[in-house]
Structure 1
């Protein structure tokens, strides 16, 4: 995909701006992570902390300053009516903290997810793991990169290993997912939290990630962009493309793969 995307903007320059915004969110999150904090719960019983809200505000403020301006859909933002959202051709998709349970448990495996969605598909993604000092970024059709204490380098998926390295959720490994994994044959489990599961495939540390459980668009959009930029793919279990900007933000069951 050329640098000038159909949306009429330079994705190269935009990616660097989004990385900077994500880093600012990381710093705000870590300031809270390193001290005591309260945990409340949403109507769906998922946890919510001050860090989720602070990260949301930092990202909203940062994205609002970018040109051209696109609407923003954030997990922690106000609910936007479908009548308005269905008009969006290009929009930002944000999860201020994916894996709040990992944040609360201080496992370190929570992420910040920022994606640019165009015509129903994520085309740019930034995933940061603040507590692990890792950043993953990608532009579909151009490449993916990892930034950590060793610097910045290009990453890519690899040929599947034997036994197959299947990445699984620490918090959501249900019976249906176990049954799916068992039918894959000889395999080893690679444990990872939040959207890092996609990123481990993108950097060649895992091969396969099935998710037979509920997720929302903001949970996976940025990481899907990173994985596809690294040469992988994310589809429904039937092999159909994942679609973004739907009336319901819930995703179908899916599988993420490397090469």
Structure 2
């Protein structure tokens, strides 16, 4: 009941709540109506995941706690997400994920979500952020060529096999995110791990196979010749990798 009350409080343009808590090994999605959220405490237990929708642009929290292998997963979006915490305690293997989405044949790959992360106080073995771009969709496979019609004693020579179609080109990967970090001055730089590579380009489409020529046929007076096979198609070109994002670190 408490969780229902908290989630209901978040369904407004600017929402305020005391505590958001995600149970171990479970997934919770914040409601999609609020664009700014104020929290006293945000907890994600071991192996739990909190999903941040694309329209949410700012989260201000007094205390942030991530358990072992816990995740904050941020849905791709055009607007930057600001996540500011006065105190943060991050368990081993925990991660903030702002990755882009892979492309499909209908939609292009999406870039990593730009992120402004400010942690006034930080206790963690590692601050891990994954804001890579989405991978491009693979190219279409070329259609195989049709087989030629077999020879016949009435119509003679067999038909030629059709050529296979060329494979389609792979689609471009999306760019990595722009990540700005503000962390305590005494937090070791080697414990900050941020990935902002661009997404891989889509693999080239496979070429279509050549159609086989029609089979020959022995007739009473003569033998009808078989048809020639077609030519296989050419493979497509691999897609281009997305541009790398950037990381800036400011010490508080």
Indicate the structure with greater strand content.
2
TM-score over 0.5 for the alignment? no
- TM-score category, normalised to shorter length: under 0.3
Structure of higher CA gyration radius: 2
Q: Which has the higher contact order (CA 8 A, sep 6+)?
A: 1
Q: What TM-score does the superposition give when structure 1 sets the normalisation length? A: 0.24
Richer in helix (by share): 1
